[in-house]
Amino acid sequence: MTPHPERPHRRRNPLTGRTVLVSPHRLSRPWDGQQDDPDPPGPSYDPDCYLCPGNERANGAVNPAYNGTYIFDNDFSALLEEPGEIETTDPLFAAEPVEGTCRVICYSPDHSKTFAELSRAAIRGIIDSWCAESAALGARYRWVQIFENKGAMMGCSNPHPHGQIWASGHIPDEPAIEDTHQRAYLADHGRALLADVAARESEIGERIVVETEGWIAIVPYWASWPFETLLLPKTDIRRMPDLADDARDDLARAMKELTTRYDNLFRCSFPYSMGWHGAPFTAAEDSHWRLHAHFYPPLLRSASVRKFMVGYEMMAEAQRDLTPERAAQMLRDVDGVHYREADGG
């Protein structure tokens, strides 16, 4: 299943049609295991944090004394509910109006916790909030983008565990590209693309990072980031609000294990951008869709040594040295218990 494991080759991403150049021969020796010292845990409450319970935000609003998750409208929303008037058909300077709304979701009142350190029940609470928000926003907008920027390296403004939800009347570029490719795959093969991916990867095994009864997380065959993963349901689930009670519990288990393995790899709060893609909230046919999450972590060799997507990646196509198979193996080899829990912290 691994083409020319020691020779440069190109792999195609069937979700996007993009290509990654894999150059395994450049990794002549395995990584030497050097690790940075883990950061000490921060305080559970930070009086200067704009997400902690009871604190004032940048626009003067005060957060309630919340438990579990807390969701509010982004004080600096990138999308506005009223579409503008702009419309131009100029082929060089095209623009169109947009409408939407942006929300912020605090995962926990505890400022010091990373996603992986939250209890399974707390993660289940986040999943319930994601489902409720997608259902409510999906009734008004075609696309609901749930995502998280984690860590300063990914441009996250605050270590307090939180994510974002942006809903829009239009379907943005990335999901639009995935829509096209999933639709074409179903037309060509009679099966949903990601249903086939989940089934084949479960069978092959070498790219699996976490597998539960209903979910599978893999370093995809076509991953461009070193430790990129794709989290998929094994059954026909198309959108977040379709998740039944037991599938949510099982997802909480899978996400806790996946994020724990990430944190344990370099013994740090593993930075990443993650986000959910599911069928758009339109009346259109959507049997080609499967709900899934992408995790795009920037790290390569340690808590401080990152992969840069520059040069060849910007000018030509994505490139990696470490094979997805080896990355999956490294994530499988670390402990399933978070290092801070194991250290008694």
| Binding footprint of ligand H2U on the chain (CB under 6 A) | 50, 57-58, 74-76, 104, 149, 155-158, 162, 164
- Exactly one of 162, 277, 292, 294 is catalytic; which is it? 162
162 classed as catalytic: yes
Q: How far apart are CA 306 and CA 182, in angstroms?
A: 31
> 3-class SS at 316?
coil
Quote the least distance from Cβ 103 to Zn ion, whole Å.
Answer: 17
In the complex with ligand H2U, the residue whose CB is nearer, 162 or 207, is 162
In the complex with ligand H2U, the residue whose CB is nearer, 101 or 182, is 101
Token duo for residue 141: 């907008």
Q: How far apart are CA 237 and CA 256, in angstroms?
A: 20
Q: Interaction with Zn ion in 11-70: which residues (CB under 5 A)?
A: 46, 49, 51-52
Residue 113: contacted member of Zn ion, ligand H2U, none (CB under 5 to 8 Å, by partner type): none
What is the enclosing helix (H) or strand (E) of 112?
none
**327 contacts Zn ion (rule: CB under 5 A):** no
By DSSP bridging, strand 70-73 and strand 9-12 are unpaired
SS (H, E, C) 157-211: CCCCCEEEEEEECCCCHHHHHHHHHHHHHHHHHCCCHHHHHHHHHHHHCCCEEEE
What residues pair up with 274 in beta bridges, in sequence order?
148, 295
Residue 160: contacted member of Zn ion, ligand H2U, none (CB under 5 to 8 Å, by partner type): Zn ion
Is 149 in contact with 156 (CB distance < 8 Å)? yes
Residue 75: contacted member of ligand H2U, Zn ion, none (CB under 5 to 8 Å, by partner type): ligand H2U
In the complex with ligand H2U, the residue whose CB is nearer, 130 or 215, is 130
Q: How far apart are CA 241 and CA 139, in angstroms?
A: 11
In the complex with Zn ion, the residue whose CB is nearer, 15 or 52, is 52
Residue 157: contacted member of Zn ion, ligand H2U, none (CB under 5 to 8 Å, by partner type): ligand H2U
Q: How far apart are CA 206 and CA 297, in angstroms?
A: 20
In the complex with ligand H2U, the residue whose CB is nearer, 57 or 332, is 57
Residue 156: contacted member of Zn ion, ligand H2U, none (CB under 5 to 8 Å, by partner type): ligand H2U
Residues that bind Zn ion (CB under 5 A): 46, 49, 51-52, 111, 160
Positions annotated as catalytic residues are 162
